[in-house]
Amino acid sequence: MIDSPLQVSDRGPVRIITVNRPDKLNALNAATLDALQAAFTAAANDAGVHVVVLTGAGPKAFVAGADIAEMVQLTPVQGRDFSQRGQRMMRAVETMPKPVIAMINGFALGGGLELAMCCHLRIASDTAKVGQPEINLGLIPGFGGSQRLLRLAGRAATLELCLLGAPVDAARAQQLGIVNRVVPAAELEDRTMEIAAQLAAAAPLALRGILDCVNFGGESGIEEGLAYESAQFGLMFATEDMREGTTAFLDRRKPAFSGR
């Protein structure tokens, strides 16, 4: 029996997916990419899951990169296929209809930073380091790093991280807009789960609408994005959650959202 490269557990409506290869610093090989694809598909289709938290096993790494031992023998065609495999999985995470939080507990380098960037929020330990060091291997980012980093942090930061290949600490990553929050290492799990619980209690259809609008707007012109937002805004008026939320506000009570 082959051990799974992931650990999956639930805390109420929050699903925790942990890359579980601590002896390899949670490096991404083909089997791990496939397992992540399956795990996120299952979470997307499970009505009991409202939020996903993604992290890495052990104290050292979120994900330290792609598995170099597996990559070193690849042919050009196999290299392209490996890149596309990772891109498909990460695009599935990015377009999830439920919020995904990367809990960055250590090194997030190369494929690890690419995996974190496809999540919707990134909470980092103050001891974490992130970077795109592929240049040091004679490579370039292959799982979307050049594209998502450009959209998150801009051209200057993307060129700095990709051309120089040196990691930056969590504080610098926050300054560049790569991570949302930096917290003390001892508080990382508690603080991340607090945010996850807040999202899990929010209106699920509104969460999905926000994620859809941001994904669509990030790849379209302003007029198209505004039109899409208006359409999504209008759809919210067909939901029970919108009636509950507005009524609760007027009644000065906490809303109880049902996802309908």
CATH of the domain at 33: 3.90.226.10
Does some domain include residue 258? Answer: no
The Cα–Cα gap between 53 and 45 comes to: 16
In a shared domain, residues 48 and 153 = yes
Q: Is 244 a catalytic residue?
A: no
Full-model pTM: 0.94
Does some domain include residue 134? Answer: yes
Does some domain include residue 256? Answer: no
pLDDT at 250: 93
Catalytic pick from 70, 114, 223, 224?
114
Does some domain include residue 260? Answer: no
The Cα–Cα gap between 214 and 229 comes to: 9
Catalytic pick from 70, 94, 134, 244?
134
The Cα–Cα gap between 148 and 53 comes to: 19
The structure tokens listed for 2 are 């082959």
In a shared domain, residues 189 and 223 = no
In a shared domain, residues 228 and 129 = no
In a shared domain, residues 11 and 126 = yes
In a shared domain, residues 100 and 227 = no
Dihedral class, residue 252 (left if φ above 0, else alpha if ψ from -120 to 50, else beta): left
pLDDT at 3: 74
pLDDT at 149: 97
In a shared domain, residues 166 and 181 = yes
Domain with 70, as residue range(s), is 6-200
In a shared domain, residues 57 and 91 = yes
In a shared domain, residues 231 and 189 = no
In a shared domain, residues 185 and 208 = no
In a shared domain, residues 80 and 116 = yes
3-state helix, strand, coil in the chain (%, to 5): 50, 15, 30
pLDDT at 1: 39
Question: Computed over its alpha carbons, how large is the radius of gyration of the chain?
Answer: 19
In a shared domain, residues 208 and 190 = no
In a shared domain, residues 98 and 186 = yes
Q: For residue 238, give the CATH number of its domain.
A: 1.10.12.10
Does some domain include residue 115? Answer: yes
| Residues 6+ positions from 78 with CB-CB distance below 8 Å | none
pLDDT at 123: 98
Q: Is 160 a catalytic residue?
A: no
The structure tokens listed for 21 are 């290869």
Does some domain include residue 65? Answer: yes
Number of structural domains in the chain:
2
Does some domain include residue 245? Answer: yes
pLDDT at 2: 55
Mean pLDDT, 10 residues at a time, over the chain (260 residues)? 83 97 94 96 96 96 92 93 96 96 97 98 98 96 96 96 97 97 97 97 95 93 95 94 92 90
